[in-house]
Amino acid sequence: MYIITIIISVLVLIAFFEYLYALNPIKVPLHYAPGHYHIINNYLIIYIFSAFLIGIALILIITILNILFQKLKALLHKRSGYVKTELDNSINKALDAYIKGQYDKGIDLIKKYLFKYPNSIGAHLLLAKIYKHKGRIKECESALNEVLNIEKDNVSALNEAGNLYKINNNYDKAVFYFNKALEASPDNLYAITQLKDIYIKKEKWKNAYRLSKLFLSESKDKEIKKREEQVMLGLKYEFGKYLLESENDTERSAKRFNQVLSQDKNFVPAYISLGDVFIKKNKPHEAFELWEKAFLKTGNLALIIKIEDVSIKTNHPENIIKFYQELVYNNPERWEYRLFLGKLYIRLEMIDEALSNLTAIPTSIFKDVSLNMLLAECYYKRGKYNDASINFRKALESRFPVKLPFVCSNCGFASLNYSSICPSCNFWNTFNIKTSGTLYEIGTKNGLKNNVPSFVSE
């Protein structure tokens, strides 16, 4: 059908030209250059037909050239795409090498890629991460600076720079870069969290509290917000403690502690510090009453230890003696109360009372050495050296620590000293002396040595 159409078209053209020739049989001169000799004398139809053929030829030439140009362009694009794919694959290989810990291989692949694409932000960031893991701080800084030269407000680079300086304890530079990241992206939760952690480490509680509020306003996750509210409560407490200890501001600090307790009735550090406010105001009776009520409410033994220490320092041991006696009477199955009362009697040189309480405790109750150490000390002070020696030997044979450690209820970290915040997991209000038989095994794992100094020499 296609060939028939062409043949018919050619025949129509020939007929058309024959028709024109019949109508125009006269020859027409055509000057193709200046002068009398540059003349073509021919029929008009010949000129028209020649022009028609030249037009067709030009169209064919242009079409062919255009086709050749498109073919060449497609070939070059395909070649360029192949090269780019190969380079992109090198980045993927570099990432794979980084994940596998093959850092040198990853560095070589990225450098080859950057030679071709020096402004690739992703490649520079990956290179910075590899340098950071290799501990090559200067090279990491250089890679991050390359990103910031390309895009000065690149949030990923600013976050990486802040993290680099934070893990190397250069907190001032870390704060600078995290603040820059927040300027570029105010809802940058990573920068907010890292800045808050730095301020907590530096005990800048007011700044940490401000960032905690910012985190709560930007976060959308309900579970995360709930955890952050607990952090915010701890930071409010720490700021109150700072006002009390550093600025001696009893009024503002008491206000903060009461605010914390209004949100969490079991926040033990706030009770302890609020009692300290009463002590500073020379109101020990109110402090003891607060701590006693707080202990009965929370059961946290840190409050008993606090009452004991302050009672002795203020020459009012009768407060804690009476409270211990009530606890022992009302809770005969809680042998740790007798243990603490015996310990107090020894501190007060009331040896007979101490022995009376300590010998009432079954020797198999406690796995730790505290009972043996206290008994040994009592017998030694009474001149009963044989009984003292027996108990000292029992203490030496034990693998448990001498002193009762405070244990974090969140992560299991143990410490001989009470703290409002666990230094291991940074959770507030988690320390207490556990009385279960497994407590001291936990303490041993966290590095509490099985020394044998006096249990009551605190």
Could you report the per-residue pLDDT of 262-315, keeping only the tens digit for each? 999 999 999 999 999 999 999 999 999 999 999 999 999 999 999 999 988 888
Q: Which of 455, 449, 414 is nearest to 431 (CA)?
A: 414
Question: In whole angstroms, what is the distance from residue 414 CA to residue 434 CA?
Answer: 10
Could you report the per-residue pLDDT of 133-174, keeping only the tens digit for each? 999 999 999 999 999 999 999 999 999 999 999 999 999 999
What token pair was written down for 319?
């407060």
Q: What is the mean pLDDT of residues 365-375?
A: 78
Residue 450 near residue 393, CB atoms below 8 Å: no
Could you report the per-residue pLDDT of 86-105, keeping only the tens digit for each? 556 778 888 888 888 899 99
Question: In whole angstroms, what is the distance from residue 421 CA to residue 200 CA?
Answer: 11
What token pair was written down for 115?
């030679």
More confident of the two residues 259 and 374:
259
Question: In whole angstroms, what is the distance from residue 129 CA to residue 159 CA?
Answer: 12
Q: 136-140, 389-393, 453-457: which has the highest mean pLDDT?
A: 136-140
**C-alpha pair distances (Å), 38 with each of 34, 35, 41, 418:** 7, 6, 10, 117
Question: In whole angstroms, what is the distance from residue 301 CA to residue 374 CA?
Answer: 18
Q: What percent of the chain has pLDDT over 70?
A: 86
Confidence of residue 16 (pLDDT cuts 50, 70, 90): confident
Q: Which has the minimum average pLDDT: 51-60, 73-82, 157-166, 358-367?
A: 73-82
pLDDT at residue 202 above 50? yes
Q: Which residues pair with 446 in a beta bridge?
A: none
pLDDT, residue 449, reads 38
More confident of the two residues 85 and 93:
93
pLDDT at residue 73 above 90? no
pLDDT at residue 317 above 50? yes
pLDDT, residue 371, reads 82
**C-alpha pair distances (Å), 447 with each of 3, 415, 442:** 97, 9, 9
Residue 96 CA, chain-centre distance (Å), reads 23
HEC letters along 183-239: HHCCCCHHHHHHHHHHHHHCCCHHHHHHHHHHHHHHCCCHHHHHHHHHHHHHHHHHH
Residue 428 near residue 410, CB atoms below 8 Å: no
Question: In whole angstroms, what is the distance from residue 182 CA to residue 180 CA?
Answer: 5
Q: What is the mean pLDDT of residues 5-13?
A: 77
Residue 191 near residue 181, CB atoms below 8 Å: yes
pLDDT at residue 446 above 50? no
Which residue carries 């579970």 as its tokens? 223
pLDDT, residue 35, reads 63
b/e map 354-372, b = 16+ CB within 10 Å:
bbebbeebeeeebbbbbbb
Q: Which of 165, 217, 172, 163 is nearest to 190 (CA)?
A: 163
Q: Which of 102, 105, 13, 95 is nearest to 52 (CA)?
A: 13
Confidence of residue 367 (pLDDT cuts 50, 70, 90): low
Q: What percent of the chain has pLDDT over 90?
A: 45
Q: What is the mean pLDDT of the chain?
A: 84
